[in-house]
């Protein structure tokens, strides 16, 4: 059977996962009456809740005698470590572009990776049935993008199609019959080359580069990758080589699995060119080469972009520690973080001197938020610091990461947004142009430091109508101090449960982060002060009772609704001397030093 290996790449929300659903349906991968969830490829709980793809996943369909292996990739640059590895497994990419929005920052990010590997893209203009779609403009912008990214003549001569993933059709012409996706299947078979390995390297010894790591409750550790040369039968002995060529381990392959539709099925023989999963190893990991014992040289692995931010994960040492979660010891937290770093090459974990906390370096706030959310659901309790940007020293100069920010916003809010980005946050305005009726597109280069905690403020400034996308741009000389949060906080001076009457009296001091009957402790942050200094308050103070009833003044207390922070909002809100306490049931803000005397002493020392 002929083989084709493709990846579907696009900006977040341009319809990759929905299109893969339709490809699976129309290729007969599901039975007629089979119940299939919408966005079947997004199998993880967090992916379903947030409507985004976090982990790259492979599937496989058969069409007219050709097996097509399809990899659905994440759109967010925070999960770029996944994309970089996956692209080395495929021979072609389908670039999906929203016909209304055109190429976006993440489109640029994934496309640059694909072009650098020499892949020739197929451009699919998706969502052409939207009322504000402009497919011709989007196609011109794709050509300009390819040219700017240094595409060669072959890559610039790309085929393009018009499609609606949700309606399940794709056509070479905009006014085509709009029946099904057979034109897309045919274009993939005609345009994407068969894997070179499948034709040239069958008789060589077995070699495969591991690109993703997983575990199965029945067969243990599993590694997925593309077979570069040779064939493999279950029961064969292999060795794993690290990037440097050192032997990691020798093992015997217990099972070979191949993608068939949404599931993986055992096969007898793996052949060059196919994407398969192997079981039987105990130590081998991502970027290792799994090879025949006669092979001594590892396969070249893609270099991974370095992390740009770091967050400290520590044990939860608040008075409420251990009430919600079962996993609270630093040893357990360390094991879980090490396991994550092994599976996700874009994350780095280092121990801190005390051994109670761990520095976790990654690509962005979203990636960190997803990791913390997963750990919280697994029963961990953590205290999390404010994200810090990683700097580089080059030629005696201090460099910091700069991100390209693309913002679509209503015209009336564009002034506020530009003032915030270029003023306080030290950004440079690159481009500003109209983007449809009453909207402006702003592109700016802003230091990563300036964007920490900006998203919430941005949504407030644009009344929730703005769309902000960001992607790593380059390293640039340090731009000097960027002011942090201006307002101080209200800090509890007592342990116990908050009282509605006390909170009502505190409302004139600022906005509240807790409601009545909430557990509070000394040093916990319960609200934002209306001024720039921190204020210690008592949220437990009840009303003094007398035996005289006053007419009208004893009515029930009416409280203004309190601010409910999401996990990412809380992490972005805190200052350097504050932490977020994360448990399976709560997200609380607190001071790093709970005792007021210790806080003052540390503030003086710093």
Q: Which residues contact 561 (CB under 8 A, 6 or more apart)?
A: none
Q: What is the pLDDT of residues 132-145, one digit of tens each?
A: 888 888 899 889 88
Residue 39 — pLDDT band, cuts 50, 70, 90? very low
Residue 365, φ and ψ in degrees, nearest 5: -65, -35
**Consecutive H or E run containing 331:** helix 330-343
Q: Exposure string (b/e) for 216-241, b if CB count within 10 Å is 16 or more? A: eeeeebbbbbbbbbbbbebebebbbb
Instruction: Quickly list DSSP for 371-410.
Output: HHHHHHHTTB-EEEPPPEE--EEETTEEEEEEEEEEEEEE
Q: Which domains does the chain have, with CATH numbers?
A: 2-193 (3.40.50.300), 198-291 (2.40.30.10), 392-477 (3.30.70.240), 489-564 (2.40.50.250)
The pLDDT tens digits of the residues spanning 170-196 come to 888 888 788 888 888 888 888 888 877
C-alpha–C-alpha distance, residues 346 and 210, integer Å: 15
Confidence of residue 590 (pLDDT cuts 50, 70, 90): very high
Q: Averaged over 517-542, what is the pLDDT?
A: 89
Q: Residue 43 pLDDT more than 70?
A: no
Alpha carbons within 13 A on the beta-carbon side of 137: 11
What's the pLDDT score for residue 38? 43
CA–centroid distance for 154 within its chain: 32
Among the ranges given (218-232, 555-569, 580-594), the one the predictor scored with the smallest mean pLDDT: 555-569
SS3 77: helix
Give the model's confidence band at 33: pLDDT under 50 very low, under 70 low, under 90 confident, else very high.
very low
Cα–Cα distance, 566 to 577 (Å, whole number): 20
Quick: pLDDT tens for 92-122: 888 888 888 888 767 777 788 888 888 889 9
pLDDT the model gives residue 16? 65
Query: 603 CB contacts (<8 Å, ≥6 apart)?
Result: 577
Q: Give the pLDDT confidence of 393-421 residue by residue, as tens digits.
A: 888 888 988 888 888 888 888 888 888 88
Query: Would you say 465 and 410 are in contact if contact means Cβ atoms under 8 Å apart?
Result: yes
The answer, yes or no, to whether residue 35 has pLDDT greater than 60, is no
pLDDT tens digits for range 420-450: 888 888 889 998 888 777 888 888 999 988 8
> Looking at residue 525, what is its pLDDT?
92
Most confidently modeled range among 51-60, 215-224, 242-251: 242-251
CA dist 264 and 43 (Å) reads 14
Residue 81 has pLDDT above 50, yes or no: yes
Query: Number of helices (H) and strands (E), helices first, in the chain?
Result: 16, 35
Length of the chain: 606
pLDDT at residue 368 greater than cutoff 70: yes
Q: Is the pLDDT of residue 49 over 60?
A: no
């Amino acid at each position: 059977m002929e083989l084709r290996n493709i990846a579907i790449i696009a900006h977040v929300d341009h319809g990759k996962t929905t299109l893969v659903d339709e490809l699976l349906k129309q290729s007969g991968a599901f039975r007629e009456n089979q119940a299939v969830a919408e966005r079947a490829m997004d199998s993880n709980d967090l992916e379903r809740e947030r409507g985004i793809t976090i982990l790259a996943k492979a599937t496989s369909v058969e069409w007219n005698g050709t097996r097509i292996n399809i990899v659905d990739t994440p759109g967010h640059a925070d999960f770029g470590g996944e994309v970089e590895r996956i692209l080395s497994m495929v021979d072609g990419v389908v670039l999906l572009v929203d016909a209304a929005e055109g190429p976006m920052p993440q489109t640029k990010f994934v496309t640059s990776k694909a072009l650098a590997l020499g892949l020739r893209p197929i451009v699919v203009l998706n969502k052409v049935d939207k009322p504000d779609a402009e497919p011709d403009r989007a196609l011109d912008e794709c050509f300009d993008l390819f040219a700017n990214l240094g595409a060669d003549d072959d890559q610039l001569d790309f085929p393009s199609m018009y499609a609606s993933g949700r309606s399940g059709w794709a056509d070479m012409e905009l006014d085509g019959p709009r029946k099904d996706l057979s034109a897309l299947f045919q274009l993939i078979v005609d345009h994407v080359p068969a894997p070179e390995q499948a034709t040239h390297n069958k008789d060589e010894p077995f070699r495969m580069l591991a690109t993703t790591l997983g575990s199965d409750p029945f067969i243990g550790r599993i590694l997925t990758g593309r077979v570069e040369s040779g064939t493999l039968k279950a029961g064969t002995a292999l060795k794993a080589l690290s990037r440097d060529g050192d032997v990691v381990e020798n093992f015997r392959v217990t099972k070979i699995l191949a993608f068939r539709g949404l599931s993986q099925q055992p096969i007898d023989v793996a052949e060059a060119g196919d994407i398969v999963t192997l079981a039987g190893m105990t130590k081998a990991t991502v970027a290792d080469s799994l090879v025949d014992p006669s092979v001594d040289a590892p396969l070249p692995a893609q270099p991974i972009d370095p992390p740009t931010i770091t967050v400290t994960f520590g044990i939860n040492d608040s008075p409420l520690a251990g009430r919600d979660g079962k996993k609270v010891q630093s040893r357990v937290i360390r094991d879980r973080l090490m396991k994550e770093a092994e599976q996700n090459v874009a994350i780095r974990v280092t121990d801190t001197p005390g051994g109670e906390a761990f520095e976790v370096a990654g690509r962005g706030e979203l990636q960190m938020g997803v990791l913390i959310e997963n750990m919280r659901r697994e029963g961990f309790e953590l205290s999390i610091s404010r994200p810090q940007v990683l700097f580089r020293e080059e030629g005696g100069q201090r460099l910091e990461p700069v991100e390209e920010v693309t913002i679509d916003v209503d015209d009336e809010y564009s002034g506020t947004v530009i003032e915030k980005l270029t003023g306080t946050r030290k950004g440079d305005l690159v481009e500003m142009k109209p983007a449809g009726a009453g909207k402006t597109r702003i592109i700016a280069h802003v230091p990563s430091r300036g964007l920490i905690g900006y998203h919430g403020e941005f949504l407030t400034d644009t009344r929730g109508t703005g769309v902000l996308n960001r992607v790593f741009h380059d390293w640039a000389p340090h731009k000097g101090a960027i002011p942090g949060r201006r307002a101080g906080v209200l800090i509890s001076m007592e342990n116990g449960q908050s009282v509605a009457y006390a909170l009502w009296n505190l409302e004139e001091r600022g906005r509240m982060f807790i409601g009545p009957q909430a557990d509070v402790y000394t040093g916990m942050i319960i609200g934002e002060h209306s001024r720039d200094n921190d204020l210690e308050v008592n949220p437990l103070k009840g009303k003094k009772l007398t035996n005289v009833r006053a007419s009208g003044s004893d009515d029930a207390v009416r409280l203004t609704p309190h601010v409910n922070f999401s996990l990412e909002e809380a992490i972005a809100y805190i200052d350097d001397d504050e932490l977020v306490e994360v448990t399976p049931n709560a997200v609380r803000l607190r001071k790093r030093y709970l005792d007021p005397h210790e806080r003052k002493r540390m503030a003086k020392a710093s």
